Amino acid sequence: MSDEKKPPEGEVKAESAPPPDNAKKEEVINTDIVGKKVFFVFPTAYVQNQVVAELVQHEYEIYISKNPKRLSHALKKFSDSIVFVNIDDGMPESEWEKWVRTLMSAQPNVTVGVFSSNSDDKLKEKYINNIRIKCGYYNSKLDMSKTTPKILEVLESMNVKGRRKYLRANTDDSATINLPAATGYLSGTVRDVSVVGMSCTFTGDVQLHKNELVKDIQMRLQTMLLKVEAVVFGSRDDGHEKVYVLIFTQRVDPDIKVKIRKFIQQNMQHKIDKEIN
């Protein structure tokens, strides 16, 4: 009999693909639960290293795009996303104006913000008062430590996260786990992971019991080797495999959580890259 039926409260898996076109109602409901995607188009290195990195640590689902044409097409599926555009890169500002106007007209539920090093008040007024972007106009020359809280405030006011608290990514065999045992280590595969915990399977017969504390776990996320401890939340049978759900303890180093969030962002970016880049 299965011990585990659902992930920890507040955690919802972020899917890279939307529901089919004939499920419009369901898409709205799902987005309300799992949250909305946030795209940065041609972000400067400074914006990417400061703003994007900080938003990732706040559990926002962030993607980088450097192909406006493909992104426009993808936004037909991700139709209530938030898009921040750097109008200094990729094409002339006049073309960006046309792109933003066309996008907002074709996808009225997509909300747009603008980054630019141009501090001209007329340009800012055009985007805010004429084009009527809803997510702000930000000077990319200014201190991003002051810009990031403003963006966080905007995203929070729009309930971008939905009901979820944590992002969870399918690892697609890019992550492994080793558990200490009397004979050495038991090897397994991480199926999905969040900062709360993970689900995993093992090659051999592993006897893990509900609420059991497991220390000195080695978890490899691509090239990162992380050491964690966790409590067995439960298990379920999936075909011929037994899937275990492990919940990290409060003693897990905060730096490890930072690395897990980075891995999750990279994992989701990779899955969607062909659609937006």
Domain ranges of the chain: 36-161, 167-262
Per-residue pLDDT tens digits for 164-175: 899 999 998 789
Whether 265 shows a pLDDT value over 70: the answer reads yes
Per-residue pLDDT tens digits for 214-264: 999 999 999 999 999 999 999 999 988 999 999 999 999 999 999 999 999
Residue 50 contacts residue 140 (beta carbons within 8 Å): no
Same CATH topology for 36-161 and 167-262? no
Quote the pLDDT of residue 5: 45
The CATH architecture annotation of domain 36-161 reads 3-Layer(aba) Sandwich (3.40)
Helix (H) or strand (E) holding 237: strand 224-238
For the beta sheet containing 61-65, the strands, ordered from the edge strand earlier in sequence to the opposite edge, are 61-65, 37-41, 82-86, 111-116, 137-139
As a whole number, mean pLDDT of residues 31-54 equals 93
Q: Specify the CATH number of the domain 167-262.
A: 2.40.10.220
Whether 137 shows a pLDDT value over 60: the answer reads yes
